[in-house]
């Protein structure tokens, strides 16, 4: 039987919750016996996705963000979902250095960071409905034992 575990967390789209979400995801990933570098990768990717949900999904409105983490054997899947305004052009949003908010000194590197630090990143978005980011990362440390 493959090892399985799952958690789901819902929080307000407040910027205070960016650090809350990345710490929760890292704590959940701890059971995969990750390296310090792998933990940092997860924290950073979650921070990017949650920040996107807060500043782009909801802009100045208050909403709800969902963080869902699943473990299947040595694979961690993270889903970050909002019910915000959605992304008009996903391909453009994923381009390095593209930002819809240059006035806020956003670097436009959010998706590039997620793609670099995780093995797989899938973005599903619908205008007026929201955005769902699904990321996967494989951990090898458990298998080597």
| Residues known to be catalytic | 48, 52, 106
Q: Does 109 bind other proteins (CB under 8 A)?
A: yes
Q: Which two tokens stand for residue 36?
A: 């310090």
Cβ atoms within 10 Å, residue 76? 25
Residue among 13, 25, 43, 76 that touches other proteins (CB under 8 A): 43
Cβ distance to other proteins smaller for residue 110 or 130: 110
Q: Does 140 bind other proteins (CB under 8 A)?
A: no
Tell me how far, at minimum, the Cβ of 89 lies from other proteins, in Å: 19
C-alpha distances in angstroms, 26 versus 46, 51, 78, 128?
9, 16, 11, 30
Q: Does 92 bind other proteins (CB under 8 A)?
A: no
Residue among 9, 33, 44, 79 that touches other proteins (CB under 8 A): 44
Q: Which residue has the tokens 């593209």?
A: 98
Q: Does 29 bind other proteins (CB under 8 A)?
A: no
**DSSP label at residue 104:** G
**DSSP label at residue 88:** S
Burial 28-39, CB ≥16 within 10 A → b, else e: bbeebebeeebb
Residue among 1, 2, 60, 105 that touches other proteins (CB under 8 A): 105
Contact residues: other proteins, CB under 8 A = 15-16, 18-19, 22, 37, 40, 43-44, 47-48, 51, 54-55, 104-110, 112-113, 116
């Amino acid at each position: 039987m493959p090892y399985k575990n799952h958690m789901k967390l819902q929080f307000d789209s407040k910027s205070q919750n960016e650090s809350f979400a990345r710490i929760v995801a890292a704590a959940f990933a701890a059971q995969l016996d990750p390296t310090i570098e792998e933990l940092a990768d997860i924290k950073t990717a979650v921070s990017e996705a949650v920040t996107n949900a807060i500043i782009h999904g909801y802009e100045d409105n208050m909403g709800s963000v969902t963080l869902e983490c699943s473990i299947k054997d040595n694979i961690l899947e993270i889903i970050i979902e909002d019910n915000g305004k959605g992304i008009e052009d996903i391909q453009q949003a994923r381009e390095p250095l593209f930002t819809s908010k240059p006035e806020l000194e956003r670097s436009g590197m959010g998706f590039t960071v997620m793609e670099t630090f995780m093995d797989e990143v899938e973005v599903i978005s619908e205008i007026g409905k929201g955005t769902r980011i699904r990321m996967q990362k494989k951990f090898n440390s458990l298998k080597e034992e």
